[in-house]
Structure 1
Amino acid sequence: WFSRKVPVYKPGRGPSARTESVGTLTLDFPASTTVRSQGVSLYIPQPAINATVEEDILLSVDYSCHGIPTIEWKYTSSWGVQKIVEWKPGTQANISQSHKDRVCTFDNGSIQLFSVGVRDSGSYIITVTERLGSSQFGTIVLHVSEILYEDLHFVAVFLAFLVAVAALLISLMWVCNKCAYKFQRKRRHKLKESTTEEIELQEVEC
């Protein structure tokens, strides 16, 4: 009887040097699922995951069966079904060309997806097949979203506010400059008139 236990995943630890970080996830917390067939038991602690772009996502599972099974992951979306990876624990994984350098496998059946994008949203189906032929499958639904619209909206509003304040300050400076120029011009004109009157008075006295 062959059994694997789910490891407690921590950033920077795991069977591969590439599993440095899982990333920060925004998660719903659905109940875990366990499915069993004649000789295979499959446990999925988190059937649904929400994430944002550029995160590293761990699709965690655990299984038990007779002997060493064959593990296969497929990705399904509105575009169709696509095989991601297939391997036997302890052997090299056969990763599809579309996911080269983006997938890391674990002996307990889990996989990690690096730097996910919106295109990675969909259902991920794992199939565990034992040597006697019995198999079991499970599904994890992944939803990847862009940066929250509210954050972008806040930034846009803040930038617009700064632009408006800058425009207002420039307008006030222009008005103040105009007023100062008119005041100085008027003052010079009065001073010139006063000087002219004094000169005329002096000429009359003479």
Structure 2
Amino acid sequence: KKLLNVQFHDLLQLISLHPPQRNLIRSVQDDVFFSVDVASSGVPTIRWSFMSGAVSRCIGAWRPGGFTNITQDYSDRVNACDNGSMLLSDLKLQDSGYYVVTAEDPAGNSRDLGFVLKVNEVLYEDLQYLSVTALALMVVAALLMLAMWLLHRGCRKLRAWRRRRQMPGEAFKRSPENQS
């Protein structure tokens, strides 16, 4: 799992990313960890929210060393850390969207930073297609082997018949004059 580090230094002065990756791609049922380091003169309040084309909702808010308030929609899937980090586990397709972290100092100054999360579906249909294709190829291979075996056997019988036909004793037995 990749870590995404966000540093807020003196909320009014600097916001920097380490590494500068703001677009995350995960699969359904994976976890994503947002690591946030907030530096402030006072104890900041951290808020995480989620936005997509269909909905916009608060994930939770907490103060390092203080309160933690995670909404009921996320209560069993979010772990909040004192430094503002957030672990979102058991991802669903509906978790794809824009995540915003807001850090607010006691004076009311705040900074926002957004991240895009894309959750991909694990396509079991692809695995099913692959196994059906493999099975079909095995059946074709078996039929080709059977055809080769039958042709080889027929070829051997044809050779044996030709040899018997060319033998002098066999020719005498088969002549029409001797059959009466």
TM superposition score normalised by structure 1: 0.59
Q: How do 1:63-142 and structure 2 match up within 5 A?
A: 63-142=38-117
Letter in 1 for 2:93: V
Runs of at least 5 residues in structure 1 that lack an aligned partner in the other structure = 1-22, 188-206
Measured at CA, do residues 35 and 66 of structure 1 come closer, stay the same or move farther in structure 2, by a change above 3 Å?
Answer: closer
One-letter identity of the residue aligned with 2:138: V
Verify the 8 A CA contact 2:102 2:110 in the aligned structure 1: yes
Question: Identity percentage over the alignment?
Answer: 27
Match of 1:52 among 10, 26, 39: 26
Contact 1:73/1:83 (8 A) holds in 2: yes
Give 1:57's aligned amino acid. V
For 1:112 and 1:78, how far apart are their aligned partners in 2? 23
How far apart in 2 are the matches of 1:34 and 1:107?
Answer: 14
Q: Is contact 2:11–2:105 with CA below 8 Å preserved after alignment?
A: no
Corresponding residue to 2:138 among 151, 165, 168: 165
2:38 and 2:2 mapped to 1: Cα distance?
Answer: 26
Between structures 1 and 2, the one with greater strand share: 2
Q: Is the 8 A contact 1:42 1:62 kept in 2?
A: no
Partners of 1:143 and 1:137 in 2: how far apart? 20
Any residues of structure 2 matched to 1:169-188 within 5 Å, and which? 169-170=142-143, 173=146
Question: Tell me, which stretches of 5 or more residues in structure 2 are unaligned?
Answer: 162-180
User: Which of 64-73 and 167-176 deviates more?
Assistant: 167-176
Is 1:61 equivalent to 2:36 in the alignment? yes
CA contact (8 A) 1:63 1:108 kept: yes
- Determine the C-alpha separation between the residues in 1 that align with 2:115 and 2:2: 18
SS at match of 2:48: strand
